[in-house]
Structures are given as structure tokens and as C-alpha cells.
Amino acid sequence: MPTKEVILCAGALKTPQLLMLSGIGDSEHLQSVGINPLIHLPGVGLHLRDHLATPLMFAAKKELPSTPEWSTWQVLGPANLDWEGNGCADFQIQWVVRRDFLPGFPKPSGYEDTDVIATVVAVLHPHGEGSVRLASADPAVAPVINPNYLGDDQDMVIWRTGFKLLRQLMAAPGMGEWVEAEIGDCPQGKKLEEYVRKNSISQWHPVGTCRMSSRADFLSVVDDRCRVSGVNALRVIDASIMPEHPSGNTQAPTMAIAEIASNMVLEDNA
């Protein structure tokens, strides 16, 4: 048994599940699956956000080199772009130079032996919010995860902007030496939403399901020292506490959270 604190760090999908299984969450939801509510925290499992990636493939005019310079371009190539003018990147364009197709993405026939410049557009700060909910009081049963991708119309506006800019970049004179043509069936205009819904995959960056906020926010789950509201000696230290998405991968911010929170734990237990 712990003598000082319990620290929960199971991630943005499992942490809310464990809290709810322990009786911490929205009382009505807990009762609906047969769990006796101990602490009413309606924000547990809400505000789920994730980065969604949508591909656009281009056939290369010639065999692509496999030099260190090109490898560096693949690693450092993503461009984060601020479209709404708020000082924070709204979408990201990634380039991957390869001789096959990205796993999980469609493979247009006729290009199996063609070198490919695979690109991806991702909305970095989605407006749509999903949820994690219990399917059962049995811990062995997976929770119900609803990412609610494209749940807000503003996200599709940003996607259209991203694809428009990407096509402009790939049609630039400097790319003419390398790019033969766009391949696949990615449409433009209003039909783009259907393509995004059918062909996108998660970038595995879920956040927000136990978000940190002020006491005035009744959907807050943890305070500014990662302590679960209304519970003694329980903290959450993982990506679930992020109130907003970072403009990129969640790994480094999660490590930063752990570093800062570890000092808080030491200070509070000195």
C-alpha cells in the first residue's frame, strides 16, 4: 500500500478509465454501468483530442536518392503553419520520401514500382472534442473511445487550407525536377471531407481527458500541481492533463510534464 501518494500515469485513454472504475468521474455515467460514485468529477474522460493525419501521394519523376541529405529532409521536413494568425501553428505538412506507400494508406494501382513522395496534412489544434467512456464495470473490458474527428466544422476549413497550400508547394517550379503527378483519388472542394473521413489515421497523440484547469472550471480534473480534485494523495501525470494540444508530437511535452511534476511531488512530500 502507498504510504504517501498514488501517481496515475496510464495515458489519455487508460487514465480516465481507471479513475472511473475507481468511482471518480461523472456520477450519472458511473451509475449507468453499475459503479458507485465516490467523487463527482464530470470532466473525467471528456475533451479528448487527437491529431489526425490525411495522406496525399505524388509519383516521382525519377528514382529518389537515399543519401543522408534526403534522410535529414524526411526527419526535419515537417512544416507547421499558422493560418488563423493566432501565433500558433494550425496545421502541419509532412513529407516522407520512400519507395513504397505509407502503411495504412491507400495504394493506387499502377504505381507499385514507382518511387513516391508521400505527404500528410494534419490539423494540430482540432476544435472537435471526443470522449472516453466505460462500457462496463469490468476492468478487462476496453472503454468506449469516441475521438469525434471532424466534430467541428472549423477543422475541415483548416484541412482544406492545408491541402490547397500543399498542392501549391508541390506544383512550384523547384519541385518540377522531382514530382511527376499527384496520384490517388483525393478530391478538391466539398468532396474533400469524405476523403478525409475515409483515408485518415490517428497520429496517436490523444490528450485532454483529465485536463488541468482552474477551480472555477467545473470540468477540470486536476489542479496546477496535478492533484485530482476532491481526492487526497492522488495525482495524474501524463498527457491526459494537457488542456490543449501542442503544435506537434506529444512525447516531449509529456516528458516535460513528468519532469516538472516530479519536482512538485518531492516538494509536497519534503
Of all residues in the chain, what percent are helix, strand and coil, respectively (each to 5)? 30, 20, 50
pLDDT, greater one: 12 or 73: 12
Each domain of the chain, given as residue ranges in start order, spans: 6-48+206-268, 52-122+150-202
Q: Write the single-letter amino acid at 193.
A: E
Task: Return the CATH class of domain 52-122+150-202.
Answer: alpha beta
Do β-strands 234-236 and 6-8 pair in parallel, antiparallel, or remain unpaired? parallel
Rounded CA-CA distance 218/211 in Å is 11
* Residue 155 pLDDT exceeds 50: yes
pTM reported for the whole predicted model:
0.88
Helix axes 153-170, 192-199, angle to 10 degrees: 90
In CATH terms, 6-48+206-268 corresponds, of 3.50.50.60, 3.30.300.180, 3.40.720.10, 1.10.357.10, to 3.50.50.60
At residue 150, what are phi and psi to the nearest 5 degrees? 60, 30
Give the CA dihedral 168, 170, 172, 176, nearest 10 degrees: -150
* Residue 78 pLDDT exceeds 70: no
Rounded CA-CA distance 263/270 in Å is 10
Structural contact between residues 212 and 261, judged by C-beta atoms closer than 8 angstroms? no
Structural contact between residues 122 and 96, judged by C-beta atoms closer than 8 angstroms? no
Instruction: For the chain, give the mean pLDDT.
Output: 88
pLDDT tens for residues 204-260?
Answer: 999 999 999 998 899 999 999 999 999 999 999 999 999 999 988 999 999 999 999
Rounded CA-CA distance 52/152 in Å is 13
Q: Provide the pLDDT for residue 86.
A: 61
Do β-strands 6-8 and 24-25 pair in parallel, antiparallel, or remain unpaired? unpaired
Q: Where are the alpha helices (DSSP H) in 77-142?
A: none
At residue 81, what are phi and psi to the nearest 5 degrees? -125, 130
Residue position matching grid coordinates 495515458: 11
Q: Find the angle CA(145)-CA(217)-CA(226) to the nearest 5 degrees.
A: 70
Q: Provide the pLDDT for residue 95.
A: 77
Same fold, 6-48+206-268 and 52-122+150-202: no
Could you list the active site residues?
Answer: 205
* Residue 76 pLDDT exceeds 50: no
